[in-house]
Structure 1
């Protein structure tokens, strides 16, 4: 009888032991998504663009109530980083591997967010705000699910501060992790908290990951973004974010492959770990810049009938990527899992997933 099955079983056990509790740490804006499917006239009414993400202005405040009054409205636990933590936990299947911190109000919305995150296995440590409600995000889906416009009303999420990280119990959770992920949206809230985590990761030779997250961040929050950039070991983004980043950084190119290589070559503190850049392009190939080389990965094509909602696709991609990263898998395998996760999520409404589905990789 061959010893191979026993060897494989031992290997599987070893991999599982390596996924320690709290290995992944995320920090961001926990938001309750208010989602509706509508048409372009709604975008025009509020001065919105398809496939864009912005912060709410005064002119958008009435939009939330209008959406809440629509018959097809859905309320979904959201926030970019929290979504990615939930997806990573869903794929890992072992609870308490991911920890998430952000700021919420003391209201029913925060209870919904916490329940959804904990149901997925995420350890949640919210900073509670008694004077501010939990943040919400308007998700306006158009073009039969192909396009989404996000308008975030941060509310309590905007009041996270570094004192939450300095709490001994929370600091212990942060220091326990080996991998860190923070979306670019958090640059508008607490850049000092991002730098605290980035510096810790750099000093301890742990992996620090971020996301460009939205074109407006590359432009209007350039300074805090570039203060964090030398600590970033792995950066995610999509084609529109990459194009704006190239423009603001003066790269002098619109070619996404060249942008990825130039992004990877920006100054970096940890010289022992070269920066990895991953740019998604919707239905087009995923671009990887690593070790001075470009690799492309085709995505899984879906029919129009199969595509339900692209909201959360990017968050799901990151979650799938991180689920493999914390297991020591290759960058190529991380990207393949990211593509698989995003493909599953866009066949459902919001960033939700079938709990019992197993990643086949």
Structure 2
């Protein structure tokens, strides 16, 4: 469990308010129909409440999923500007191809504040296309994202792109490092729901401990490997990550 004094996540806030999600899983592939309900009504006034903003001020790391761009950009602005002004780490996820495509302007507004950008290969290629980069090379896209302008020079931007069973691509300082994922026989793949969120959760669990990028990726791969072997976003009672 990550102490709230260290880590603040608006993705969790949104999920707690989301009421229902119909999912269909066939052969490991999934389709989702979500009823966002109250999650789609989140207002910045809620974040500004003293008891809630106090959590933001205590935190040193921030993660906001790109999905939240559709709900409350004003909340993202408050958190991202606070992080920049106080030399804290601000992270976001590309989240889905439609976010990169239909919420491009909102995404671009907050990119300068992102110290870490997470995504998968499909999201990365969509991001490249809508920005007119004319490349589908995930490694080159990751480098380009990492080199986009930043609001502050406190931290260099790191781009982390997962590719399913293929190596995780990490771009920083103009170069790419690839990290292998944990091999999983196809017959053990049960449900890919939550794989991306699990990866980010595992990654962040080590980032807040100031571990190396290699250790962060290792934890992310472990978490996603566990969740895709179970139905729904569930975990065994006791993890065996070392």
- CA spacing shift, 1:348–1:20, aligned 2, 3 Å: closer
Whether 1:136 aligns to 2:20 is: yes
Taking the TM superposition and a 5 Å limit, the aligned residue runs for 1:1-361 are: 21-28=4-11, 82=12, 101-102=13-14, 134-142=18-26, 144-145=27-28, 147-360=29-242
Alpha-carbon deviation of 1:152? 2.3
- Asked which structure has the greater CA Rg, the reply is 1
Query: What residue ranges of structure 1 are gaps of 5+ in the alignment?
Result: 1-18, 29-81, 83-100, 104-112, 114-125, 127-133
Maintained 8 Å contact 2:84/2:151: yes
Q: Residues of 1 paired with 2:226 and 2:3: CA distance?
A: 26
- Change in CA separation of 1:21 and 1:217 when aligned onto 2, cut-off 3 Å: closer
| Structure 2 residues without counterparts, runs of 5 or longer | none
Contact 2:199 2:220 in 1 (8 A): yes
In 2, Cα distance between the equivalents of 1:251 and 1:149?
29
| CA distance in 2 between partners of 1:208 and 1:351 (Å) | 25
CA RMSD of aligned residues (A): 1.6
Provide the C-alpha distance between the structure 1 equivalents of 2:37 and 2:175, rounded to a whole number of angstroms. Answer: 42
Instruction: Output the CA distance in 1 between the equivalents of 2:21 and 2:105.
Output: 25
Counterpart-to-counterpart distance in 2, 1:299 and 1:27: 27
Provide the rounded CA distance (Å) in 2 between the counterparts of 1:135 and 1:224.
25
Query: Secondary structure at 1:102's aligned position in 2?
Result: helix
Q: Is the 8 A contact 2:4 2:55 kept in 1?
A: no
The structure showing larger relative contact order (alpha-carbon pairs under 8 Å, at least 6 residues apart) is 1
| Aligned-partner Cα distance in 2 for 1:200–1:25 | 12
Q: 1:329 and 1:140 mapped to 2: Cα distance? A: 37
Q: Out of 202-211 and 264-273, give the one that drifted further.
A: 264-273
Shift of 1:304: 2.1
Matched pairs, number: 242
Deviations 1:65-86 (A, max 9, x none): xxxxxxxxxxxxxxxxx3xxxx
Q: Could you report, residue by residue, the CA deviation over 1:158-192 in whole angstroms, capped at 9, with x for unpaired residues?
A: 10010011100101011100000010000000011
Q: Secondary structure at the match of 1:163?
A: helix
- Structure 2 distance, partners of 1:237, 1:149, is 18
Whole-Å Cα distance in 2 between the matches of residues 253 and 102 of structure 1? 33
Write the distance in 2 (CA, Å) between the matches of 1:222 and 1:266: 14
Superposed CA offset, 1:70-112 (max 9, x none): xxxxxxxxxxxx3xxxxxxxxxxxxxxxxxx338xxxxxxxxx
SS at structure 1 position matched to 2:106 = helix
TM-score (norm 2): 0.95
